[in-house]
Amino acid sequence: MIAPSVLSADFLNLGRDVDMINNSEADLFHVDVMDGRFVPNISFGLPVIKAIKKLARKPLDVHLMIVEPEKYFQDFKNAGADILSVHYEASTHLHRSLQAIKALGMKAGVAINPHTPVSLLADIINDTDLVCMMSVNPGFGGQSFIPNTINKIKELRQIINEKGASTLIEIDGGVTLENAAALKAAGADVLVAGNTVFTAEDPIKTIAELQRLSK
Ligand code: DX5
Ligand code: ZN
């Protein structure tokens, strides 16, 4: 699956960019929420997500890069999130958070920073619908891919198989036309792409190309 990241969209023409994603082969909208505390950047919040939801014809995959995410689950549900991911590093009671997200009718995701070993997910993987594996340090679009992510994908795929889980592996950060096939081969299910899609001359064609490379 391909999930273009709205963080790299043109906010003055957000409707146009949402429509472009609607009309493309993309599967999901990846929506990055940053609070200036968990990450050193602030992106956008609930009103913008509500606006995107009005026009979006594909599910919203909302990635919370915020501290105390559990305070806002209901708000993100109301804003239109279909998948809601919290950071492992921001969650003291991760199991409780995942259950709360699911109880609200959303798919529950866990995001992990590049320094967080995937082995830490072994006891939570069966409760996790999606792992958002950061392949850059979270906070900014347009950074370069951290190569060790490939090893982490393989290791996580093994844990998922051993545990008989149906968790999706999503790769977030630095995804390009050059590395998409290798990510798929290592075991990734969902590729997030911000910079690669939105700096392309023809974003629709680039999304189609990413789909083809990761089939
Ligand atoms: C980074 C965000 C990513 C970002 C990816 O903190 O979580 O979703 O938008 O952007 P690119 O694809 O440009 O690395
Ligand atoms: Zn993200």
Query: What is the CATH classification number for the domain harbouring 91?
Result: 3.20.20.70
How far away, in angstroms, is 105 Cα from ligand 1 center? 26
10 an active-site residue?
Answer: no
Please count the structural domains in the chain.
Answer: 1
Residue of 37, 98, 24 whose CA lies nearest to 67: 37
2-46 residue pLDDT tens:
999 999 999 999 999 999 999 999 999 999 999 999 999 999 999
17 an active-site residue?
Answer: no
Q: Which residues line ligand 1 (CB under 6 A)?
A: 5, 7-8, 30, 32, 63, 136, 138-143, 172-175, 192-196
Residue of 33, 21, 175 whose CA lies nearest to 109: 33
On average, the pLDDT of the chain sits at 98
Q: How confident is the model at residue 143 (pLDDT cuts 50, 70, 90)?
A: very high
pLDDT of residue 118: 98
Interval 63-90 mean pLDDT: 98
Angle at 194 between CA 10 and CA 85, to 5 degrees: 110
The C-alpha atoms of residue 165 and residue 160 are separated, in whole angstroms, by: 5
- Which structural domain, as residue segments, surrounds residue 169? 2-213
Among protein residues, the one whose CA lies closest to atom 4 of ligand 1:
141
pLDDT of residue 69: 98
pLDDT of residue 156: 98
